[in-house]
Amino acid sequence: MTHRTEKPRHPPFPGVEIDRAMAVELLDRLCAPAGDPLPAPRTLMVLAHPDDETVGASSRLTRIEAAGFIYATDGAPRDGRDARAAGCPTCAKYARLRRAEAWRALAHAGISSEHAVFLDYPDQQAAFRLVPLTADLRRWILATCPEIVLTHPYEGGHPDHDAVAFAVHAAVAALIREGRASPVVMEFASYHASGETWIFSEFLPAPDAVERVIRLSPEGQALKQRLLACYHSQERTLKSVPLEQECFRLAPAYDFTHPPHDGPVLYERYSWGMTVRKWCMLATAATEHLHSGQTADT
C-alpha cells in the first residue's frame, strides 16, 4: 500500500512547544492495557459523528478516565437520503436515532449517557461553522479540564472529521495564547483514501510522528463488534471496519489551509457538499477570523 508523503508546512495555530516527554508518557498511559498500573489519562473525546468513538477507539472506552464525549454533528445529513434509508421520515427523527445508538454503544462500554454532549451541527456541514465550533470546544475544554483531547486526524476522509480536527487545534491554540492550561491533542486513526480504497485504522504518514498500534485481543474484537452492532443505521458502512487493530498518536502540526495530502481526498467521491478547494477557502477564512483578535462567538 502506498501513501502520499506529508509535506512539512507552517501550521496556522503554532501555539507553544509541548513537553515531548510528558506528551509521550500520556500517550503510553492512553494506550496501556487494562489492568496496567499506569493511571489512565483524563480524556475528552471530540468526535464528528455518533459511531466515530467505536470506529477509532473502541479499545480505549473501557480504559480511559472520561472527561466527556463531544459529538460535533447530529449525524443526520440534510438531504434526507440516509434518514429514508434508515426508515426515518425526517432528518430530526434520524438524528434522534443516531443519538440513541451512541448512548447504547457507550452503555455497552460501561459509560453513562451523562458523559455525552451533542452539539448538533448538521452532518456534512461542520466545515461551514468552524469559528463557532472552535468556540464551543474551547468552552468544553475549560469546563472539563482534560489531560488530553482525543480526536480525528486531518486526512480528507470526511469533511466533518477535518472540521473537528481544525476546531480542536484552534481551541487549544487559543487557550495557549491566553496563558491557560491546555491539554495535549492526540488522534485516533479513522479512515481516508488510498487510490480507490477506503483505508481504516491507519494514519497517513506525518513527519516525526509518535504512534502506538494496539492489537485487539479476541475479547477486544468481540467488544468492538458489539459496539458496532449498536449502530444499526450504519451497518452498510461499518461492516468494512476492521477489528484487528487501532492506532493512536500525538497530533502533528497541520496546515489546515492546504489540502491534507497531494492525492484525491475521499470526500470528493461523494455528494457530501465539499471539495478540497472549498475546504481550503473555509479554513483560510476561519483562520484569519481567529487570528484577527475577534472572539470565536462573533
Domains in the chain (CATH in brackets) are 20-291 (3.40.50.10320)
Q: Say whether pLDDT at 171 is over 80.
A: yes
Residue 213 above 60 pLDDT?
A: yes
Across the chain, mean pLDDT equals: 92
Ramachandran sector of residue 40 (left: φ over 0; alpha: ψ -120 to 50; beta: rest): beta
HSE (CB half, 13 Å, CA atoms) of 282? Answer: 22
Mean of the pLDDT values across residues 76-104? 97
Q: What digits encode the pLDDT tens for the residues 3-62?
A: 443 444 556 676 556 788 999 999 999 999 988 988 999 999 999 999 999 999 999 999
Question: What is the pLDDT at residue 17?
Answer: 64
Alpha-carbon span 273 to 267, nearest angstrom: 9
Q: By CB neighbour count within 10 A (0-12 exposed, 13-18 middle, 19+ buried), where does 266 fall?
A: buried
- DSSP character for 33? P
pLDDT single digits (tens) 155-170:
999 999 999 999 999 9
Q: What local confidence, expressed as pLDDT, does residue 101 receive?
A: 98
Pairwise CA distance, residues 225 & 47, whole Å: 19
Q: State the pLDDT at residue 7.
A: 41
Percent of the chain exceeding pLDDT 70 equals 93
Cα dist from 191 to 92, 157, 178, 265, whole Å: 26, 6, 33, 11
Q: Are 22 and 32 in contact (CB under 8 A)?
A: no
Give the mean model confidence (pLDDT) for residues 176-190: 94
For residue 298, pLDDT over 50 is answered with no
- Please check the confidence at residue 89 and state whether its pLDDT lies above 60: yes
- Residue 126 DSSP one-character state: G
Q: How many contiguous H segments (helices) and E segments (strands) does the chain have? A: 9, 9
Tell me how long the chain is. Answer: 298
How much is the pLDDT for 289?
96
Q: What is the per-residue pLDDT for 4?
A: 40
